[in-house]
Chains A and B, each alone.
Chain A
Amino acid sequence: MKNDLDYNELITTALFGALWGVIEVFLGTILHASKIPFRGTALTIIAVVLITTSRSFINYKGSMIAISAVAATLKLITLPGFNITPFIAIIMQGIIAEIVFSFINYNFITSLFAGSSIMLYTLIHSLIMQGIFFGLGIYNVYIDLLNSIGKAINYDGQLSLVLIPVIFLLYILIGVGAGWFGYATANRTKEILKESII
């Protein structure tokens, strides 16, 4: 982790952390109240865009963990109830991005890889939580239900073997898309900032 941050890096880290916090608090509250499904997935897509854009501006070791810690703390301070699950999710997203960008440099490919890894984690996170709360038997229930639906629609073979990889692939593709969007946004933002200086 970098110890000698200059003032610009410090402010930009604070900005992206605060922005992530604002999104988590306000958009998260709106989505929670709307009760629409896949709220966590929607927030993760935005987080991926924010992460892959921000790394272009704060490209030092530990920056992703710093912005996720700030976002999680702001959520913790601002909202009345403390929910441990989204708190863990935000920190994990930062850690995953940090691992990807620290071991391989920040570039187009790593942005796509970070995006897909974070999206995959979101899917696995909810499955892990369900496994803890309902017991590991919940996975067998899901698999059996999918296979029963397969039988009901006269599908030869096990539907779960097709559907589960499709769901995982879908999350990977969404992550790749969000990663691409974030990387392209970072480049365009830099262009806009340069134009405004000129």
Chain B
Amino acid sequence: MKNKYFIIVIFLAALIIPAGYTLYFFPLAFLYLLYLDSKLFRFLKRISFIVLILLLLILQPLLIGEKDFSIIGIGFSSTAFYNGLMMILRAVLMISSISYLSKTADRKKIQRIFSRIGISHFDEILDHSQKLFPLLKEKSREFISATDKKRILNPLDLTAHFFAFLIKTTHTHLPKAKQENTL
């Protein structure tokens, strides 16, 4: 529980910390998060994140800012490189903090929020949806396997038939379930 509040502080600090203090703050925060759970950093393997790293650390110093150093004859901007590095460090810290908070969030509390904010009959609707969930999986597969492949050429008609099929199935299935419950 204490970790949770500390992570919130880390998240907020990463959000507002002045550039001059980042070098002192980031390494300590990383070590703390790594100590809590090393799996928090799994997002670093994501292609979208790797693309952003390449964009900020290679492409940005190549194209933006004053070129003040060179590697194998190619000019780079050290300011742009430093800016990119700080952005990545900040993002790594913030995403891993959010991942930790998400991981430790009480799902039942979140679920209860919708009932509390006044969505009428939410618990009843959710109860029916949970009953329908496996039925929809099964019936969707049934519909796909029974559908003529040529129908794909008319996606509107195909989707409409799919919805109609599900509406009919649901209305014939759920009243039965209701009767079973009352019996």
For the complex, is A189 an interface residue (Cβ under 8 Å from B)? yes
The answer to whether B103 and A82 touch across the interface, beta carbons within 8 angstroms, is yes
The answer to whether B133 and A193 touch across the interface, beta carbons within 8 angstroms, is no
Chain B residues whose C-beta falls within 8 Å of the C-beta of A81 in the assembled complex = 102-103
Nearest residue (CB) in B for A39 is B48
Task: Identify the B interface with A (CB < 8 A).
Answer: 15, 47-48, 52, 55-56, 59-60, 63-64, 83-84, 86-88, 90-91, 94-95, 98, 101-103, 105, 107, 110-111, 114, 118-122, 124-130, 132-133, 136-137, 140, 155-157, 159-161, 163-164, 166-168, 170-171, 174
User: Cα distance A96–B98 when bound, in Å?
Assistant: 25
**Apart from A1-B119, A70-B129, A145-B60, what are 15 other A-B pairs with CB-CB below 8 Å?**
A1-B118, A10-B125, A11-B170, A14-B125, A14-B128, A15-B129, A15-B136, A18-B129, A70-B126, A73-B126, A74-B129, A134-B91, A148-B63, A191-B160, A193-B164
User: Cα distance A77–B84 when bound, in Å?
Assistant: 37
Main secondary structure of the interface of B (DSSP, over half): helix
Chain A: interface size category:
35 or more
Main secondary structure of the interface of A (DSSP, over half): helix
Chain A residues whose C-beta falls within 8 Å of the C-beta of B164 in the assembled complex = 189, 192-193, 196
27 sampled A-B residue pairs with Cβ under 8 A:
A11-B171, A14-B128, A15-B166, A15-B167, A15-B170, A17-B129, A21-B129, A22-B137, A65-B119, A66-B119, A66-B125, A69-B122, A70-B129, A76-B111, A78-B133, A82-B105, A132-B94, A134-B87, A135-B90, A141-B55, A144-B60, A145-B55, A145-B60, A185-B159, A192-B164, A193-B164, A193-B167
Nearest residue (CB) in B for A180 is B156
Task: Identify the A interface with B (CB < 8 A).
Answer: 1-3, 5, 8, 10-15, 17-19, 21-22, 26, 35, 37, 49, 53, 57, 62, 65-66, 69-70, 73-74, 76-78, 81-84, 132-135, 137-138, 141, 144-145, 148-149, 181, 184-186, 188-189, 191-193, 196
Q: A81-B103, A181-B156 are known contacts. Are A133 and B125 too (CB-CB below 8 A)?
A: no
User: Cα distance A174–B60 when bound, in Å?
Assistant: 31
Chain A residues whose C-beta falls within 8 Å of the C-beta of B166 in the assembled complex = 15, 19
The answer to whether A1 and B120 touch across the interface, beta carbons within 8 angstroms, is yes
The answer to whether B105 and A189 touch across the interface, beta carbons within 8 angstroms, is no
The answer to whether A10 and B107 touch across the interface, beta carbons within 8 angstroms, is no
The answer to whether A184 and B156 touch across the interface, beta carbons within 8 angstroms, is yes
